[in-house]
């Protein structure tokens, strides 16, 4: 079970690192997405929430850089967590539980980004759910499910080593 958790977290750390790397090295691809979501230019023209739109390119870039930074932090924390869990894989359960802290931090940061940032703010506040072209809710939901399942999986107690 411990090795399974380490491998799962390593795969998630890789995934998050590749997401951040892609956004850094191909900034323009997802920049357009962020720009349209924040400008709310593809939601129903009759929607009464257009006052929430952010049209300032500077603020849009700040938002995008914060997204990339948060992705990077989540990837880094998950990587550190995987490494610490690997090192503690043969230790008593209490030591292994402490080694999971960075993993839990990383998964939580990812959940805050994709659940709080994309689904709540992007989806509801900026009305992304109304857009047929710039709707990232399905992708955000995929991130949330994977991260949440991993968080629950890693949260399971491993007491058998303490009883030896």
Per-residue pLDDT at 159: 63
Per-residue pLDDT at 90: 93
Give, for all 164 residues of the chain, the pLDDT tens digit. 999 999 999 999 999 999 999 999 999 999 999 999 999 999 999 999 999 999 999 999 999 999 999 999 999 999 999 999 999 999 999 999 999 999 999 999 999 999 999 999 999 999 999 999 999 999 999 999 999 999 999 998 876 544 44
Per-residue pLDDT at 160: 57
DSSP-derived secondary structure for 39-97: HTTTS-TT-TTGGG----HHHHHHHHHHHHHHHHHHHHHHHHHHHHHHHTTTS-HHHHH
Predicted TM-score (pTM) of this structure: 0.91
- Domain of 72? 2-163
How many domains would you assign to the chain? 1
């Amino acid at each position: 079970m411990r090795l399974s958790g380490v491998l799962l977290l390593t795969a998630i750390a890789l995934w998050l690192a590749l997401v951040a790397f892609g956004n850094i090295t191909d900034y323009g691809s997802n920049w357009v997405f962020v720009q349209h979501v924040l400008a709310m230019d593809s939601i129903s023209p009759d929607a009464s929430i257009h006052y929430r739109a952010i049209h300032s390119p500077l603020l849009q870039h700040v938002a995008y850089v914060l997204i990339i930074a948060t992705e990077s932090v989540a990837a880094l924390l998950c990587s550190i967590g995987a490494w610490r869990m690997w090192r503690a894989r043969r230790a008593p359960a209490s030591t292994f539980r402490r080694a999971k802290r960075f993993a839990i931090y990383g998964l939580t940061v990812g959940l805050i980004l994709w659940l709080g940032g994309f689904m709540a703010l992007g989806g509801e506040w900026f009305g992304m759910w109304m857009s047929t072209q710039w709707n990232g809710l399905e992708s955000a939901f995929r991130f949330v499910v994977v991260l949440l399942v991993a968080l629950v999986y890693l949260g399971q107690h491993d007491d058998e080593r303490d009883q030896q």
